Structure 1
Amino acid sequence: MAWRCSGRTNAELIQNLYTRGLITSPLVRDAMSSVDRAHYCPSSPNAAYEDSPQPIGFGATISAPHMHASACESLLPFMPEGKGAKVLDIGSGSGYLTHVLANIVCGADGKGDGKVVGIDHIKGLTDMARQNMQRSKEGRLLLETGKVELITGDGRKGYAEGGPYHAIHVGAAAKEMHQSLIEQLERPGRMFIPVEDEDGWGSQWIWVVDKDKDGKVSRKKDMGVRYVPLTDAPT
């Protein structure tokens, strides 16, 4: 059903996702509606409003909008608007979801209390994400106020300096459930992460990892997916 959600404009794309139940929260709908996906699809702006992954260069892709919606919906209970939530977006790529997550925790006007850190192992993508966010006044404000921070680093290790995080999104498939990321979760906190299955067939699954207020960790296997791998930067 997801492919039927493609639109001719950003507004039509997001409304289709909402109408067909792939977005259920008005907050997620509004956060995604206020970020023009075409600003974050530099290699294929004509296909920006398709509900499908798109190349962004450096062998990376921007995920399909319905997957970004699923991540936001899953993490939403841990990202209250204007309450100082800290979010880590690993594999931030062209910066799209980083901006959407900032809209959720800081509000559409960017004035609420919250912080999102986007980390990618490819400097060219980090630079691109910064340029993309500067294409809108809202994105510029988030960067200027430090409510969005974009850094280059090994996302498999997280970014302990900015943690602990109420929500962690991982946008590439990990080979394992990295303990360092679980350790950087707040109490309570949630991580949305695709992990390669151990069956040897190359399958991947979304795992939702929760840490409660006492530090107890639980894991739930959610849905099968197909992501690019979470690896070292190319040499």
Structure 2
Amino acid sequence: MKPSTPHSLLRIATLALALLYATTATADPFAPQRADMVKEIAAVAASAGAQVGRDAIEPRVMTVMGQVPRHEFVPEQQKLYAYENRPLPIGYGQTISQPYIVALMTDLMMVKPGDAVLEIGTGSGYQAAVLAKLARAVYTIEIIEPLGRQACDRLKRLAYRQVACKVGDGYYGWDEHAPYDAIVVTAAASHVPPPLIRQLKPGGRMVIPVGAQFLTQYLLLVEKAADGSVSTRQILPVRFVPLVGKH
């Protein structure tokens, strides 16, 4: 038998990779679109680096963005656009956020494997699914009951067991499971809700869009120091649906 030459080994490796890709694509036809989405997130992060203060999303977050099936979290008629870098309507006047914004907000929270995270505004459940792959536990609240029920059922069906869902007014947080290592708010508030500041653990981070619906909104990073003092930093202008509730 002739020994394999470098050229033949390269051809075998190329064929093996092609077969692996074909198998993956058959099992998950959205995998190539998800890979393209991750590349676009990286490109946007690099171009926004001067404004945001960092020109790359943390690798763990990027890995998760490449794993979570965003097409499962949009209505059937939106699946074709699921991996485009833009928000999409999900019903009840709500949207699923732009993938880059989801990645950025997740990155800013600096979630660690042992963390407990609170999300205000479950929406479709996509942000909670991303967080579930990074944290120990995710507690998510949605005020629109049908949307919240749908998202909870979807997260259960997709086996995101670290996520606990609740229908309620997120302005007041979820005191039962506080304090939280990180909090994310996925709707624009007129101010940072005091109950959420109280429920944030010292050393924790909150990411929240603040501003009126038709005026300039800014994504804020709220940090709570070990002594309980709070500081805020504007990250970049954004556009979110308003945070609704009795407040």
Per the shorter chain, which TM-score range? 0.7 to 0.9
Structure 2 length-normalised TM: 0.78
| Counterpart residue number, 1:89 | 119
TM-superposed deviation, 1:24: 2.3
Q: Which moved more, 1:45-54 or 1:8-17?
A: 8-17
In the aligned structure 2, how far is the partner of 1:39 from the partner of 1:201?
30
User: CA separation in 1, counterparts of 2:72 and 2:157?
Assistant: 7
1:131 aligns with 2:153: yes
Question: Secondary structure of 1:187's partner?
Answer: strand
2:49 is aligned to none
The counterpart of 2:83, out of the listed 25, 49, 70, is 49
What's the counterpart of residue 33 of structure 2?
A: 9
Identity %: 35
Q: Which has the higher contact order (CA 8 A, sep 6+)?
A: 1
Q: Secondary structure of the equivalent of 2:134?
A: helix
1:116 maps to which of 134, 138, 151 = 138
Please state how far the C-alpha of 1:153 moved relative to its aligned partner: 0.7
Matches of 2:32 and 2:178, distance apart in 1? 39
Which digits, 9 at most, give the CA deviation of each residue in 1:196-220, with x for residues without a partner?
Answer: 16xx972111111100112111111
TM-score (norm 1): 0.82
Q: Give the SS at the match of 1:209.
A: strand
Contact 2:57 2:104 in 1 (8 A): no
Q: Secondary structure at the match of 2:181?
A: strand
Q: Give 1:154 shift.
A: 0.3
Distance 2:186 2:202 in 1: 22
Q: Unmatched 5+ residue regions in structure 1?
A: 1-6, 106-113
On the 8 A contact 2:119/2:186 being kept in 1, the answer is yes
Is the alpha carbon distance of 1:55 and 1:8 closer, same or farther for their aligned partners in structure 2, counting shifts above 3 Å?
A: farther
User: In the alignment, what sits opposite 1:177?
Assistant: 192
Report 1:33-48 matches (<5 A).
Answer: 33-42=66-75, 43-48=77-82
Q: CA RMSD in A?
A: 2.0
| Structure holding more helix per residue | 2
Q: Which residue of 2 aligns with 1:149?
A: 164
Which runs of 5 or more residues in structure 2 are unaligned? 1-30, 47-55
CA–CA distance in structure 2, aligned partners of residues 119 and 52 of structure 1: 23
Larger radius of gyration: 2
* 1:177 positional shift: 1.6
2:240 to 202, 213, 227: 227
